[in-house]
Amino acid sequence: MPISRHQPRAPTRAQPLPAGASIDDHRHDDHQIVYAARGVLAVTTDAGTWVAPATRAIWIPAGTVHRHHAHGEIDLHLVGLPTDQNPLGLNAPTVLIIVPLLRELILAYTRAPHDETPERGRLRAVLLDQLRLSPQQPIHLPAPADPRLAVVCAILRRDPADDRTLAALGAEAGVSERTLTRLFGSDLGMTFPQWRTQLRLYHALCLLAEGAAVTVVAHRCGWSSTSAFIDVFRRAFGHTPGAHRATILTTGDGGHGHSS
């Protein structure tokens, strides 16, 4: 990644981000929880992209160079934690499932004022307790390091609806299907179908946050039918894309602040 800003302390606050806005590469000496109460937030490092709708948050370990991008209007909530407070013992960016209680704790903790009162200390302790119970979910689109694999992944990123086989994509990129199959496993830790599904789900989340209809999202992301898209989406996120779209377009806290 490019040269990044160094902000020693990870901020704790709420702030709005307009649709399409980005926060450039930066790192903190603290851990950070990043949560979008409305819209869909993408966090990118040199290892890939993690995406979080309003039912998910992203854990960013101390020292990780990362950048943010807003899909749809974002109500962003940031929680900075010192390095000795890592309730899940995570050393890589991770998507966490946010249950309603944890959501309310994050919203309350990021609201002003931020004076270190006993009440705020107790709120922080409960927040950390709930984080320890938070399930993890791999909404992660890993980035390829091998240049041959990167060519194929770039083709699909440009058009997630491209339904060609790995052999056909390899032919365009000048790489054998066997080599690509091996690279998906060794470089990305998943099979080609798994990676393509993750890519399509990532794009689906972004399009839904931008207000696209479910039928349009299914077509643009490459599913054979709307019902097939709904089935895959429900299995991945626990609810239908229609319910998800309604949630991310209407929930939020309306916080205010500055870039993280």
Q: Hey, what domains does the chain have and what are their CATH numbers?
A: 5-132 (2.60.120.810), 144-248 (1.10.10.60)
* Mean of pLDDT over the chain: 88
Question: Which string of DSSP letters, residue by residue, matches 157-211?
Answer: HH-TT----HHHHHHHHT--HHHHHHHIIIIISS-HHHHHHHHHHHHHHHHHHTT
Is 157's pLDDT higher than 50?
yes
Of 139, 145, 141, which Cα lies nearest the Cα of 187? 145
User: How many angstroms separate the CA atoms of 123 and 37, rounded?
Assistant: 19
pLDDT (mean) for 220-229: 95
pLDDT (mean) for 9-18: 92
Task: Give tens-digit pLDDT for 50-96.
Answer: 888 888 899 999 999 999 999 888 999 999 999 998 988 889 899 89
Q: What is residue 257's predicted lDDT score, i.e. its pLDDT?
A: 39
User: How many angstroms separate the CA atoms of 229 and 213, rounded?
Assistant: 12
pLDDT (mean) for 131-160: 89
User: How many angstroms separate the CA atoms of 59 and 52, rounded?
Assistant: 10
User: How many angstroms separate the CA atoms of 24 and 149, rounded?
Assistant: 26
Task: Give tens-digit pLDDT for 168-211.
Answer: 999 999 999 999 999 999 999 999 999 999 999 999 988 988 88
Q: What is residue 55's predicted lDDT score, i.e. its pLDDT?
A: 83
139 versus 58: the higher-pLDDT residue is 58
* Angle between helical axes of 192-209 and 226-237 (0-180°, round to 10): 90
Alpha helices in the chain (DSSP H): 100-110, 118-132, 147-158, 166-173, 177-183, 192-209, 214-221, 226-237, 241-250
Q: What is residue 2's predicted lDDT score, i.e. its pLDDT?
A: 53
Q: Residue 112 — pLDDT band, cuts 50, 70, 90?
A: low
83 versus 245: the higher-pLDDT residue is 83
Q: What is residue 250's predicted lDDT score, i.e. its pLDDT?
A: 57
- Side chain identity at 52, as an amino acid letter? A
Q: What is residue 4's predicted lDDT score, i.e. its pLDDT?
A: 75
